[in-house]
Chains A and B, each alone.
Chain A
Amino acid sequence: MSAVTEPRYAVADRPPRRLSDLLLRWETILVGFFIVVFAINIRLSPYFLDAYNLSDATFNFSEKAILALGMALLIIVRDIDLSIAATIAVASLAMGEAAQAGASTPALILIGLCVGIVCGAFNGFLVTRFALPSIVVTIGTMSLYRGIAQVVLGDQALTKYPPSFQALGQGYLWRGLFPISFAVFLVLAAAFAVVIHRTTIGRKVFAIGANPTAALFSGVNVDGIRFWLFTLTGLLAGLAAVLLTGRIGSTRPNIALGFELEVVTMVVFGGVAIAGGAGTIIGVVLAVFVLGYTTFGLSLINVPGIVINILNGVLLIVSIAAPTLAKRLMGRRA
């Protein structure tokens, strides 16, 4: 008589994925937002649904979208970088001075990227070496970097850029339908999505965000990864500086002013938890499109930019409050 011994512990299988889980995902809701925004815009303006207009609209958000990729990773590891816009100013300044001195386009790009890397690495060094909160450090470096641009430029502007450099920010890849800056963003977004969601590096990033102490005890080089994420974000700011400077063809001390808060809005609206540990690249990309085309559609019907900002602010708060509100309403029903 062989007794069938029950296992002492039972580990439940993961419950099967249900359709409602998929439908309630933030990314799905963002797709819904996207469709609604498109539908409303098409009704509001006959000029919205036009391949050339839709592709040209990307010029207005591609640089910020590139920054949002780096910011998303920083926020996932519980950090933030408010100095990105000021980094753009310094990188643009360096490129402007080099262009005055007659530097070639490849040299200008290299200078822009290197200045971005240095600015980002300095942030990362201060944050990790002295164990400082990144919000304070980057408020400080924001003033520092922006201040450098203001001191050097004063009330002047640098406008002498070679045409091939300007073509980077203004040019298209295919029949005037695919802006270079937008293509750069899409390629980067794909690369980020793969690295973050399909490699051990990404796994470590989420581990740090979920619990830095546990990550450290699990052998993750927490401060090392955070340092490199700041450096990477600096590099992206350098890249955004190349595209933005080329697009507008000038460097002023107030270039990219206020970008940092718009980028944080994109990332948080994209479903990245401000407390860290959660978020997806596809969510950020969708948020970029929703916010970008909301802005574009409203400006087509002559709504002033500052009024569009109100809408973005409301969207940000509602998007964060909605899940809590929904949970509470459902709890009451049960």
Chain B
Amino acid sequence: MSRLFANRDAALAAIVVALVLLIGLRSPVFLSPASIVGVLTDTSFLFMLTLAQMAIILTRGIDLSVAANVGLVGMLSALASRAHPDVPIVLIILMSIGLGALLGALNGALIAGFSIPPIVVTLGTLSIYRGAIFLIAGGAWLTSKDMTPAFIAFPKLSLLGAPILIVIAVVVSLGFWLLFDHTRIGRSLYAVGGNPVAARYCGIDLGRQQFFVHTLAGAVSGLCGYLWVSRYGIAYTDIAQGYELTIIAACVIGGVSIAGGIGTVAGALLGALFLGVVVNALPVIDVSPFWQTLISGAVILAAVVVNARGSRRVGKIILREARQKAAQGSAA
């Protein structure tokens, strides 16, 4: 369970609860069950994509192309549904997951195959995937009129009394928890991020892990791509643009270390929830949505500074001793 809960996760949970209660104090409607379900439904994309990004960041990587992947697969799924209206929705969803995985695998192959830093590859594929949306759709907007009723209806379904988006997010989260905490692959991800050299000596291949996490993140992005387009009933070139940074922000707030090897499922989910609550609460408490960017920036900075205090100077003991000796030497 150590990777599901950590002390700082409890602190973050307390902060999120306090935030929700504070907002509820100002406008009690925010605490109504309908509102809470609404916030969770809105945040379900962020939950899934944050966990996918976390898997990559654990291996010291980063993926800037996830949002472009979401947009491209979303557009493809909408086009596919328009071209073949009688294809069952399950097939469309499976196709989206597959296409997303393919785009992610391309990232992974470039990163692992050519030993290119993930930030460079995904910076490149971000432009490529985003441009591809424009090319395949000719710059057109697809609205709900272009989509079949079944395509639109799926994200509005309920399962066990909960919106299906929340159910999917829960299932995906459980999957990531099982992966990180209960499989050999998960442990390898932490090992690679914690110390790549040591991991190599233990027989863990960095390239294989990189390929795996990027493909996995691609599959999750593909799923989110279909869900995003069908939920909002619109597909266009700039869909989900800039969302990659929101996802990374959620990871950082959730205590996933950008230096790799550190992070918990609960932390990542709480980081995503924090941003989700902020975004949804602003209109409720009559704050202009223009504040959203500023607040998330301030929260990211606060989160990294607080995290740094806990983990600073670990592994730099020799250097610190050298510095102290130098200081004593100059004082004497």
Contacts and interface: CB of A to CB of B under 8 A. Distances in A.
Q: A and B, one complex? A: yes
Interface of A: 126, 130-133, 135-137, 139-148, 150-151, 154, 213, 216-217, 253, 261, 264-265, 268, 274-275, 304, 306-307, 309-310, 312-314, 316-317, 320-321, 324-325
A136 B322 contact: no
Interface centre among B114, B292, B296 (most CB of A within 10 A): B114
Contacts of A213: 319
Interface in B272-318: 288, 290-298, 300-301, 304-305, 308-309, 312-313
Given A131-B312, A312-B127, 11 more contacts: A136-B300, A142-B297, A143-B294, A144-B294, A144-B301, A147-B298, A304-B134, A313-B126, A314-B124, A324-B114, A325-B114
30 contacts: A130-B312, A132-B304, A132-B305, A135-B119, A136-B252, A136-B300, A139-B245, A140-B249, A141-B297, A141-B301, A143-B249, A143-B293, A143-B297, A147-B297, A150-B294, A151-B290, A151-B294, A261-B123, A261-B126, A265-B127, A274-B119, A307-B131, A309-B127, A309-B130, A310-B128, A310-B132, A316-B120, A321-B110, A324-B114, A324-B116
Nearest to B298: A144
Contact of B295 (A147, A253, A274, A309): A147
Contacts of A139: 245, 248-249, 252, 300
Interface string B90-126: 0000000000000000000010001111011101111
Contact of B237 (A144, A275, A306): A306
Contact of A151 (B124, B291, B308): B291
A144 B297 contact: yes
A183 to B, nearest CB: 29
B62 to A, nearest CB: 7
A247 to B, nearest CB: 24
Contacts of A144: 294, 297-298, 301
B259 interface: yes
B238 to A, nearest CB: 9
A132 B110 CA distance: 28
A274 B305 contact: no
B294 A130 contact: no
B245 A216 contact: no
B258 interface: yes
Contacts of B62: 135
Contacts of B296: 143, 147
Interface residues of B, number: 49
B245 A143 contact: yes
Given A145-B297, A216-B319, A320-B114, A137 B123 contact: no
A254 B79 CA distance: 30
A328 to B, nearest CB: 9
Interface centre among B116, B296, B301 (most CB of A within 10 A): B301
Interface centre among B124, B131, B237 (most CB of A within 10 A): B124
A150 B290 contact: yes
A264 B126 CA distance: 13
Nearest to A143: B297
B301 A126 contact: yes
Given A139-B248, A275-B117, A306 B131 contact: yes
B49 to A, nearest CB: 15
B52 to A, nearest CB: 18
B291 A140 contact: no
A321 B114 contact: yes
Contacts of B292: 147
Nearest to B134: A306
Contacts of A268: 120, 123
A153 B198 CA distance: 51
Interface centre among B117, B245, B294 (most CB of A within 10 A): B294
Given A304-B134, A306-B237, A317-B120, A137 B126 contact: no
B301 A320 contact: no
A275 B60 CA distance: 13
Nearest to A146: B293
Q: Report the 4 A-B pairs with minimum CB-CB distance, sorted nearest first.
A: A147-B294, A143-B297, A144-B297, A313-B127
B135 interface: yes
B28 interface: no
A325 B115 CA distance: 10
B139 interface: yes
Given A274-B119, A320-B120, A324-B114, A314 B319 contact: no
